[in-house]
Amino acid sequence: ESLAADTTTTAVCGYCSTGCGLKLHVRDGQAVGLTPETDYPVNLGMACPKGWEALRVLESDDRATVPKRRSSDGDLVELSWNDALELFCSKFKSIQAKHGNDSVAFLSTGQMPSEEMAFLGALTRFGMNIRHGDGNTRQCMATAVTAYKESFGFDAPPFTYDDFEQSDCLVFIGANPCIGHPILWERVLRNKNNPEIIVIDPRRTETAMAATDHVPLNPKSDLSLLYAITNELITNDWLDRSFIREHTHGFEQLRSHVARFDAESVARSSGVSADQIRRVAAKIGSGKAVSLWWTMGVNQSYEGTRTAQAIINIALITGNIGRPGTGANSITGQCNAMGSRLWSSTTNLFGHHRFDLAEDRKKVAEALHFPVESIPSEPSWSYDRILEGIRNGEIRGLWVVATNPAHSWIDQDDARELLNRLDFLVVQDMYESTETARHADLILPAAGWGEKEGTFINSERRYGMLKKVRQSPGQALADFQIFRAVAHYWGLGERFAEWTDPESVFRIMQRASVGSPCDISGIEGYEHIDRCGGIQWPWTAADAATSNDNIPPIQRRLFADGTFCYADGRAKLIVDEITPLPEVPDDTYPVMLLTGRGTVSQWHTQTRTSKSPVLRKLYPKDPYIEIHSSDAQSMGVFNGDLVRITSRRGSIVAAAMVTPTVRPGQAFMPMHYETTNRLTLSHFDPHSRQPSYKNSAVRIEKA
């Protein structure tokens, strides 16, 4: 009876970008339990294990509860918030004074509310003269952002989740929603059209096993395969010619480019039969509502941007966009990756404006009531360039907020060595046990999901509410309050006087959004978002004025009228040459290592999910590697044996899982284990600067 709730409220989950609504049962101001929200339009009463365990992970001995600094003998010692903030400011200011303003940088996350991202970006870039900062969204969504921007003129995922249920043909490329986005997969299962489900993936993933057609291509042959499919669509005239004529540029260039990718030659390079290539093209060509979905198999690739654009091209030339059940649809990874994309002020200026356009800087300055001279004209360095800056001494101080590069960054040993080179590393996190915190000179304890408020934006562009339903432990503060305190101690209190609480910042964001494709000026405020079950962007003042009681339709998609975000309203069909694999298996390293999500129950670097006993039980504690039975046999390895995996970067031990999910010559390791990225190759998509996590050559031997 003591756990009986006296009230309930709904908030969106803080893990993946699905953005499920969770009903929180609260007693005396503290959440005592949760259940999935049955009325929320995203998850319709469902939640995955991570969501169910969202409260449990807040209770952990690893929580950072008091500021700590590294003493000269390497121990962490407690200090007051006052001393911590004075140390923060004096250290960073002295580094800037000695080595220039650009010698301090920050790395942030896709898992803070939009208002906190907006605050961090504005504080650093428009106040503290910190020019360089990037988010861990560089590791997951940068490719999709770049692809959309170049193709549509704006980073605008066009879909709504209802499209999973409306398609008659769904194509998943490098995506495994069965475990990566399990509630979205449930939406697929609700599809009543008996749809074709095509899965293009080297691995026989859970989603591939559920497909009507699994296309098991060779790793990173996806771009040539997509060009071959496009060639088949054109050759057979499975096209929407009026859509191409009226709404796109570049069809002739596309046609002549893909003509070189005939099914027979691509069959040889991709390992997919010419018949299957033609069959997939025919299914796409004959579909009435075809949707194409991609995630990290595409984004985390050295040619990811062009691959994503090859997917976009297919949707455009077949007219599969802007209608129910269609779209070229990037599913976001983190709960607020889109908030980072729109509001972090790193690659894009506040609200997805451009740093290099004077009128955009003026607009943003006016919306923020800041002097226009405070808005820089250049974007930030990308994540990899910031790390290179540490290597060559350009970056001396680093502020890491709610992310864990010492685990998640590619070529991990190198990344850790770079963190050790810093003069001063601040880690602001919920937990003081992260791999990155081990390198920190100062730890700032932060509140987590459920302990603060703000908005998350999910994959279908829906703003949803994060609510405060618990007190944060000890002296941990909401990131928002930490940013506010930093502003004060840095001497910027007056400039940020309006930034008093998250909803005040939301109003600033609304002002900055006016007239842009992500205009949210029609939203009345947090209560309105809550009342409507989330609100998708855009929702303009004009939308509000012309709708019934300012209630947006539950499901909205972009480009229904074929008008894209370029000045002439047309989308671009973009093609490029195929680039060679950066690391090809050879006699010394004969196996291609793939990495990715391994389970529905764990999240990223397990920073949070490892704190739940239930989630831990659902996943092997020690690392494992999937290998094919023929490879296992030639190594004399049986299921469960320990094997040593060695790449040119490092060497680790894991248990062999002998399985047909991978083909001979390939192996797969989940990214959740601390050691996986000791093996991965430091290589990047040249357009998005996203790391290519999924193609490292390794050697596997019995340990």
Contact residues toward ligand SF4 (CB under 6 A) are 13, 15-16, 18-20, 43, 47-48, 50-51, 182-183
Residues in the chain: 703
What's the closest the beta carbon of residue 56 comes to ligand SF4, in angstroms?
Answer: 13
Helix (H) or strand (E) holding 315: helix 304-317
- Coarse DSSP helix, strand, coil percentages of the chain, rounded to the nearest 5 percent: 35, 20, 45
Closest to 232 measured CA to CA, from 261, 272, 273: 261
Cα separation of 264 and 71, whole Å? Answer: 65
What's the closest the beta carbon of residue 330 comes to ligand SF4, in angstroms?
Answer: 16
Sign of CA dihedral 369, 370, 372, 376: negative
Q: For residue 609, what are the contacts with CB-CB under 8 A and spacing of at least 6?
A: 15, 50, 53, 57, 601, 602, 603, 615, 616
What's the closest the beta carbon of residue 71 comes to ligand SF4, in angstroms?
Answer: 38
Cα separation of 643 and 621, whole Å? Answer: 16
Closest to 384 measured CA to CA, from 109, 100, 684: 684
Q: Rank residues 13 and 465 by Cβ distance to ligand SF4 and give the closer one.
A: 13
Characterize the bridge pairing of strands 442-445 and 624-627. unpaired
Sign of CA dihedral 259, 218, 408, 161: positive
Cα separation of 414 and 406, whole Å? Answer: 9
* H helical segments located in 325-382: 337-343, 358-368
How far, CA to CA in Å, does 537 sit from each of 183, 467, 557? 21, 20, 10
The dihedral region occupied by 327, where left means phi > 0, alpha psi between -120 and 50, and beta the remainder, is left
Q: Rank residues 151 and 612 by Cβ distance to ligand SF4 and give the closer one.
A: 612
Q: Rank residues 250 and 464 by Cβ distance to ligand SF4 and give the closer one.
A: 464
Task: Let me know: does 460 contact 536? Beta carbons within 8 Å.
Answer: yes
What's the closest the beta carbon of residue 162 comes to ligand SF4, in angstroms?
Answer: 17
CB-nearest residue to ligand SF4:
51
What's the closest the beta carbon of residue 294 comes to ligand SF4, in angstroms?
Answer: 18
* H helical segments located in 468-519: 479-490, 502-513
What's the closest the beta carbon of residue 14 comes to ligand SF4, in angstroms?
Answer: 7
Q: Rank residues 50 and 628 by Cβ distance to ligand SF4 and give the closer one.
A: 50
Q: For residue 369, what are the contacts with CB-CB under 8 A and spacing of at least 6?
A: 498
Q: Rank residues 331 and 512 by Cβ distance to ligand SF4 and give the closer one.
A: 331
DSSP reduced 3-state for 264: helix
Q: Rank residues 350 and 449 by Cβ distance to ligand SF4 and give the closer one.
A: 449
What's the closest the beta carbon of residue 290 comes to ligand SF4, in angstroms?
Answer: 25
Q: Rank residues 226 and 600 by Cβ distance to ligand SF4 and give the closer one.
A: 600
Q: Rank residues 386 and 600 by Cβ distance to ligand SF4 and give the closer one.
A: 600
What's the closest the beta carbon of residue 460 comes to ligand SF4, in angstroms?
Answer: 12
DSSP reduced 3-state for 357: coil
Residue 359: other Cβ atoms inside 10 A = 9
Task: Let me know: does 682 contact 411? Beta carbons within 8 Å.
Answer: yes
What's the closest the beta carbon of residue 45 comes to ligand SF4, in angstroms?
Answer: 11
What's the closest the beta carbon of residue 332 comes to ligand SF4, in angstroms?
Answer: 11
What's the closest the beta carbon of residue 527 comes to ligand SF4, in angstroms?
Answer: 22
DSSP string, 138-185: GGTTHHHHHHHHHHHSS------THHHHH-SEEEEES--HHHHSHHHH
DSSP class of residue 538 equals P
Characterize the bridge pairing of strands 327-330 and 290-294. parallel
What's the closest the beta carbon of residue 175 comes to ligand SF4, in angstroms?
Answer: 14
